[in-house]
Amino acid sequence: MLSDLKIGETAVLVALNLPGSVQNHLMHMGFVPDARVKALRRAPAGDPTVYGIDGMEIALRHETAGAIEIRPIPESATEIEPANQALDLIEAAS
C-alpha cells in the first residue's frame, strides 16, 4: 500500500480502492494505474505524507494512502525510466 512507502522510495500505482468521488479527484491529479509515485516527506507527527506524482506534490492522509495499491520498482529502473517515458510519449504522438 502507498502508506507503506518509505521516504525517498518510488513505486508504481496499481489501483485506488477509494470511494468514487475521492478516486476521481486523485485520478485527475495523476493518481492513475502505472503512474510512478515517490514519497517525498512526512509531517512531524507522521501524518500526512507528501507524495510526488506527475510533477506535482500532493499530501495524503495515512488512511487515504492505505487504500492505494502499489508495486515496488527496482531502484535501477527509477533512474532510466524518465527517458523511457519520454520515448513512450513520442511514440504515442506519432
Task: Give the pLDDT confidence score for residue 40 in this predicted structure.
Answer: 97
Whether 11 has a pLDDT exceeding 70, the answer reads yes
Beta strands in the chain (DSSP E): 10-16, 36-42, 49-53, 56-60, 68-72
Give the cell for residue 10. Answer: 518510488
Task: Give the pLDDT confidence score for residue 35 in this predicted structure.
Answer: 94
Q: Indicate the number of domains in the chain.
A: 1
The whole domain housing 12 covers: 2-93
Q: How confident is the model at residue 90 (pLDDT cuts 50, 70, 90)?
A: low
Q: What are residue 38's DSSP bridge partners?
A: 10, 52
36-63: per-residue pLDDT in tens?
Answer: 999 999 999 889 999 999 889 999 999 9
Q: What percent of the chain has pLDDT over 70?
A: 78
Whole-structure pTM value: 0.75
Whether 80 has a pLDDT exceeding 50, the answer reads no
Residues 43 and 60 sit within 8 Å (Cβ to Cβ): no
Q: What is the CATH number of the domain that holds 57?
A: 2.30.30.90
Distance CA 81, CA 64 (A): 27
Give the cell for residue 41. Answer: 516527506
Look at residue 81 and give its three-state secondary structure: helix
60-78: per-residue pLDDT in tens?
Answer: 999 999 999 999 986 655 4
